[in-house]
Amino acid sequence: MTTVALKPATMAQALTRALRDAMAADPTVHVMGEDVGTLGGVFRVTDGLAKEFGEDRCTDTPLAEAGILGTAVGMAMYGLRPVVEMQFDAFAYPAFEQLISHVARMRNRTRGAMPLPITIRVPYGGGIGGVEHHSDSSEAYYMATPGLHVVTPATVADAYGLLRAAIASDDPVVFLEPKRLYWSKDSWNPDEPTAVDPIGRAVVRRPGRSATLITYGPSVPVCLEAAEAARAEGWDLEVVDLRSLVPFDDETVAASVRRTGRAVVVHEAGGYGGPGGEIAARVTERCFHHLEAPVLRVAGFDIPYPPPMLERHHLPGVDRILDAVGRLQWEADS
Q: Is 234 a residue that touches other proteins (CB under 8 A)?
A: no
Among 11-19, 110-118, 260-268, 315-323, which window interacts with other proteins (CB under 8 A)? 110-118
- Smallest distance, Å, CB 254 to other proteins? 11
Cβ atoms of 156 and 10 within 8 Å: the answer is yes
Nearer to other proteins, 75 or 226 (CB): 75
- Smallest distance, Å, CB 169 to other proteins? 8
Contacts of 51 (CB under 8 A, 6+ apart): none
Hey, which residues are catalytic here?
134
Nearer to other proteins, 35 or 292 (CB): 35
Q: Is 256 a residue that touches other proteins (CB under 8 A)?
A: no
Contacts of 331 (CB under 8 A, 6+ apart): none
Give the binding-site size for other proteins (rule: CB under 8 A): 49
Nearer to other proteins, 62 or 234 (CB): 62
Q: Is 281 a residue that touches other proteins (CB under 8 A)?
A: no
Q: Is 246 a residue that touches other proteins (CB under 8 A)?
A: yes
- Smallest distance, Å, CB 224 to other proteins? 27
Which of 26, 170, 191, 319: binder of other proteins (CB under 8 A)?
170
Q: How far apart are CA 142 and CA 278, in angstroms?
A: 13
Q: Is 307 a residue that touches other proteins (CB under 8 A)?
A: no
Distance of CA 185 to the CA centre of its chain: 17
* Residues 89-108 within binding reach of other proteins (CB under 8 A): 94, 97-98, 101-102, 105-108
Q: Is 200 a residue that touches other proteins (CB under 8 A)?
A: yes
* Residues 64-93 within binding reach of other proteins (CB under 8 A): 64, 66-67, 69-80, 82
- From the list 205, 212, 279, the residue with the least C-alpha distance to 248 is 279
Distance of CA 256 to the CA centre of its chain: 20
- Could you give the maximum distance between any two Cα atoms of the chain, in Å? 65
Q: Is 147 a residue that touches other proteins (CB under 8 A)?
A: yes
Q: Is 149 a residue that touches other proteins (CB under 8 A)?
A: yes
- From the list 150, 177, 143, the residue with the least C-alpha distance to 166 is 150
Which of 247, 294, 307, 326: binder of other proteins (CB under 8 A)?
247
3-state secondary structure 4-57: CCCEEEEHHHHHHHHHHHHHHHCCCEEEEECCCCCCCCCCCCCCCHHHHHCCCC
Q: How far apart are CA 86 and CA 31, in angstroms?
A: 11
- From the list 258, 257, 265, 256, the residue with the least C-alpha distance to 219 is 265
- Smallest distance, Å, CB 82 to other proteins? 8
Nearer to other proteins, 186 or 241 (CB): 241
Q: How far apart are CA 151 and CA 175, in angstroms?
A: 5
Q: Kindly report the backbone phi and psi dihedral angles of residue 94, in degrees, each rounded to the nearest multiple of 5, phi listed first.
A: -60, -20
DSSP letters spanning 197-224: PPTT--EEEE--SSEEEEE-TTHHHHHH
- Smallest distance, Å, CB 72 to other proteins? 6
Q: Is 61 a residue that touches other proteins (CB under 8 A)?
A: yes
Instruction: Please give the residue ranges that form the binding site for other proteins (CB under 8 A).
Output: 30, 56, 61-62, 64, 66-67, 69-80, 82, 94, 97-98, 101-102, 105-115, 146-147, 149, 169-171, 200, 246-251
